[in-house]
Amino acid sequence: MTAGSVTPDAVSIITTKRDGGVLDDRQIDWAVQAFTDGRMAPEQMSALTMAILLRGMDRREIARWTAAMVATGERLDFSDLTRDGRRLRTVDKHSTGGVGDKITLPLTPLVASYGLAVPQLSGRGLGLTGGTLDKLESIPGWRADRTPAQMAAQLRDVGAVICAAGPGLAPADRKLYALRDVTGTVESIPMLAASIMSKKIAEGTEALVLDVKSGSGAFLPDLDDARELARTMVGLGTDSGVDTVALITDMATPLGHTAGNAVEVAEALEVLAGGGPADVVELTLALAREMLAAGGIDADPAEHLAGGQAMDCWRAMIAAQGGDPDAPLPRADHVEEVTADADGVVTALDARAVGLAAWRLGAGRARPGDDVQAEAGVVWHVRPGDRVRRGQTVMSMHTRTPERFVAARAALDGALTLGEAAPEATSVVAERITVGG
Ligand code: URA
């Protein structure tokens, strides 16, 4: 038997990476598959992911790891979708997650209203950043589960679907993500990139726009790390035939005026009605422009927010998944206010603190499977640049369970920084990363 035909084993794979070596294709394929089907023990994969976090992976290793994750499950195929005899091009967006990030809600129907198909597989929240599905589940009757056939039908009829990724899509990621979450290895850039891109490649989208966050409320607060993650994912997507571009966007300040579930849906509806906070509108339009361009459509997306076409598509999308777009959203029985403790100008609002408070009020979950409160969240009434007076209400906390107020208030203590002068106005979009860029 030659050395090349020896079946890889977990210990030699771990020690190769521990000592700074490069894994070959067979080692990577074996580790990913063996962990998924239970032949590689969780403690061995924990050691390997920690070695990867500390030693990194080169571009070939990351590409192979991603492909191996895709290969553990099914691949969706929307390449034969048509409407009125015309083939529908699929375009998706993925955000690395941020506080108050409700952009998927207005963006998906907005882009679909121009005749593109937007298959948006989303997740539930874990930790401080909320999950799109948790937000949508605050709409009475709305259901997250769709089979691939239901997804295809909805894409044909409505153009937009936001739903849960089925268990058959990159099952390696499901197991690996749960393990990374409890072993301090979520921040590994190769693992983050492979996790996100394996699901997007398996989802079968033709084009993808990535919203990579940087700042205190992001997975990777440092701009250089966000840039590296963006470049890695753009490279992975492009190499797999997915037309991929990334925007690096600010997550030092939370988006809009709300973080939670129903409160964020209400804010998304304001945007769909042609209003809404300036930063949410700005980011929605920036991502929509990229998605439309990737889909070969030359249009100004602001027109379908002002003209109501995006709202019509939203209503159809919600109704197609059992939701009642006219039903009132749940409202919290208990609301407490936070007031300014001095006069001044708001110079910063810390996204991480706001996310933690929303989570403590019941908007997020500590463990997979925990219930979330639809009505829980934080609403802030001021943003950087606004002048406040001592005693003025600056935030409100919403919950079903008032015993949570003390911990949420502690999280918000110091969340608002006051100064003498307004900070310089900055754009939400910091950078655009394309292949080779
Ligand atoms: N989102 C993902 O899909 N994967 C990660 O690892 C982190 C965020």
Q: Is the CB of 214 under 6 A from ligand 1?
A: no
Check if the beta carbon of residue 209 is closer than 8 Å to that of residue 246: yes
| Measured CA distances, 419 to 39, 168, 385 (Å) | 57, 52, 10
Main-chain phi, psi angles of 126, to 5 degrees: -140, 130
Question: CA-to-CA distance for 54 and 113, rounded, in angstroms?
Answer: 45
- pLDDT more than 90, % of the chain: 88
Mean pLDDT across the chain: 94
In the predicted structure, residue 130 carries a pLDDT above the cut 90: no
Q: Which helix (H) or strand (E) holds 408?
A: helix 405-412
- 298 C-alpha vs ligand 1 centroid, how far in Å? 31
The number of the ligand 1 atom at minimal distance from the alpha carbon of 191 is 6
Instruction: Order across the sheet with 387-388: list the strands.
Output: 387-388, 344-349, 416-419
- 409 C-alpha vs ligand 1 centroid, how far in Å? 29
* Annotated catalytic residue within 17, 199, 398, 404: 199
pLDDT at position 265: 98
pLDDT at position 2: 45
* Annotated catalytic residue within 173, 211, 239, 279: 173
- Alpha helical stretches, state H, 19-170: 25-36, 42-55, 59-71, 104-112, 132-136, 148-157
In the predicted structure, residue 86 carries a pLDDT above the cut 80: yes
For a mutational test of ligand 1's pocket, the pick from 174, 176, 196, 236, i.e. the residue with the most ligand atoms closer than 8 A to its C-beta, is 196
Q: Which range has the worst mean pLDDT, 122-126, 228-232, 270-274, 329-333?
A: 122-126
Angle at 405 between CA 402 and CA 408, to 5 degrees: 145
Residues 295, 254, 232, 163: is their CA dihedral positive or negative?
A: negative
Q: Is 195 a catalytic residue?
A: yes
In this structure, which residue's CA is closest to atom 5 in ligand 1?
Answer: 192
Q: Is the CB of 195 under 6 A from ligand 1?
A: yes
Check if the beta carbon of residue 167 is closer than 8 Å to that of residue 174: yes
In the predicted structure, residue 361 carries a pLDDT above the cut 90: yes
Q: Is the CB of 192 under 6 A from ligand 1?
A: yes
Q: What is the pTM of this model?
A: 0.94
Residue 5's pLDDT band, with cuts at 50, 70 and 90, is low
In this structure, which residue's CA is closest to atom 3 in ligand 1?
Answer: 196
* Annotated catalytic residue within 95, 122, 188, 195: 195
Q: What share of the chain is helix, strand, coil (3-state, %, to 5)?
A: 40, 15, 40
- 218 C-alpha vs ligand 1 centroid, how far in Å? 12
In the predicted structure, residue 249 carries a pLDDT above the cut 80: yes
For a mutational test of ligand 1's pocket, the pick from 92, 96, 104, i.e. the residue with the most ligand atoms closer than 8 A to its C-beta, is 96
* Annotated catalytic residue within 17, 102, 180, 213: 180
In this structure, which residue's CA is closest to atom 7 in ligand 1?
Answer: 192
Mean pLDDT in residue range 42-48: 97
Mean pLDDT in residue range 62-88: 95
Return all residues near 241 (Cβ < 8 A) that are at least 6 apart: none
| Nearest partner of 123 among 333, 414, 365, 431, judged by Cα | 365
Q: Is the CB of 196 under 6 A from ligand 1?
A: yes
* Annotated catalytic residue within 94, 174, 231, 398: 94
In this structure, which residue's CA is closest to atom 8 in ligand 1?
Answer: 96
Which residue did the predictor score with more confidence, 214 or 425?
214
In this structure, which residue's CA is closest to atom 6 in ligand 1?
Answer: 192
CB atoms within 10 A of CB 84: 6
As a whole number of Å, the end-to-end CA separation of the chain is: 45
The number of the ligand 1 atom at minimal distance from the alpha carbon of 199 is 3
- pLDDT more than 70, % of the chain: 97
Q: Which helix (H) or strand (E) holds 294?
A: helix 278-294
Q: Is the CB of 165 under 6 A from ligand 1?
A: no
Q: Is 324 a catalytic residue?
A: no
Q: Is 432 a catalytic residue?
A: no
Radius of gyration of the chain (CA): 22
Question: CA-to-CA distance for 396 and 208, rounded, in angstroms?
Answer: 36
The number of the ligand 1 atom at minimal distance from the alpha carbon of 186 is 6
pLDDT at position 3: 46
Q: Is 257 a catalytic residue?
A: no
Mean pLDDT in residue range 16-26: 98
Q: Is 180 a catalytic residue?
A: yes
Residue 217's pLDDT band, with cuts at 50, 70 and 90, is confident
